[in-house]
Chains A and B, each alone.
Chain A
């Protein structure tokens, strides 16, 4: 009987091979005893095991019948959300951790660039103003100075003036500063390097004489903004600092840049 029960169960669970199943079905059609046993087995399987004794069941049902019926309504959204969170907390925790790590990494990445940019902006040295430097008609460099010292440098106008120059000219000096102020380090760096190459030209302009160290510092700031080789920048910066006097305005800014790079 036990063996047949195992076989019946295997058949029910689809655990018999196709050959075994075919053999079982064929046997079932012939063997009357097996047939009755199989039917009995199926009927037995219909039994629902009740874990609770009828007296307790009756008592609890009666208690409920004597109470105000509890109405069925769909569970509230808050409850469902709460349940969803409770049931899926490992997944949610993993997702939250992932997002947290990602947002931290993004913030570190962006804040580094942003903070550096912001501080560099504060460190940069403003160009020398040449507005109304002449009583004659407004010169190109006067216009450039005028465009730069607007509440926000007029980069477009400065670009126009710079493009009009065949060689190096003062609008480029102002445009370099405007780019640096706008954190456009790549463009600023190109122009400041050009300024550095044309330092003799700049020194011929009376207002700019003796300001080459400021340009050198701005060049280093633009390089720092571009995250170029910090060791080289530091070397150049140390060289610049060694040439400065501690009471120079530029000295303090150079030190600030040094702190930032360290």
Chain B
């Protein structure tokens, strides 16, 4: 039986403080660290695309385990096997999404050639510029700029510097997703008839 299995549910009953304790219990679980290390080492090529550092990856693994256990789907007795499989699944998902996103990135990079429109990226940028500061900066640095910024902490700093607002690291993926939705809508409707 793993250390955190029994105490996890009890901690959850203690409200927000208990959730933190439960998360801390998972971080203290040595076997999770071992599996995370192993998969970080094994999937290095893919991990480096999605996670800036080992710590990002490790936090992601613990986070996913936390969510699974919180939803009552956690391990009953074979914690080691469960943690191992979950960590492996995260990595497999990562590989799949990396491959998919690579295909999309490839298509985006040769969009001008494909559409016969040399200014197509500039047109997309124009729509990005129409978005509010948060989305403008996030999309520009995360998807458009030559040196893409994938470090969430750095993105938070950029948003603070350029937009004057403080965002949490955890909220960055949600903002990114929302901003991308806005941009997609703009491009699809093409209100300025740029395309």
Contact = CB atoms under 8 A, between A and B. Distances in A.
B178 to A, nearest CB: 10
Interface string A11-25: 010000000000001
B95 interface: no
Nearest to A49: B177
A47 B171 CA distance: 15
Interface residues of A, number: 46
9 contacts: A12-B104, A40-B184, A42-B108, A46-B104, A50-B174, A58-B170, A63-B23, A67-B24, A70-B55
A37 B84 CA distance: 41
A135 interface: no
Contact of A70 (B23, B27, B117, B181): B27
A43 interface: yes
A82 to B, nearest CB: 10
A56 B63 contact: yes
Given A52-B64, A75-B34, A25 B114 contact: yes
Nearest to B188: A40
Contacts of A38: 115
A18 to B, nearest CB: 16
Interface stretch (A27-35, A125-133, A157-165, A243-251): A27-35
A64 B27 contact: yes
Contact of B20 (A29, A53, A54, A63): A63
A45 B101 contact: yes
Given A35-B120, A57-B169, A79-B38, 6 more contacts: A36-B195, A38-B115, A43-B180, A58-B169, A63-B23, A64-B59
B44 to A, nearest CB: 10
A67 B27 CA distance: 9
A58 B174 contact: no
Nearest to A39: B187
Contact of A56 (B34, B66, B114, B116): B66
Contacts of A48: 97, 101, 173, 176-177
A134 interface: no
Leading 7 A-B pairs by shortest Cβ distance: A58-B170, A57-B170, A72-B54, A40-B188, A29-B116, A36-B195, A54-B171
B58 A70 contact: yes
A43 B180 CA distance: 7
A74 B37 contact: yes
A211 interface: no
Contacts of B185: 40
B24 A45 contact: no
A39 B58 contact: no
A60 interface: yes
Contacts of A49: 177
Contact of B63 (A36, A43, A60): A60
Given A54-B174, A63-B24, A69 B168 contact: no
A78 to B, nearest CB: 11
Contact of A36 (B20, B54, B66, B187): B187
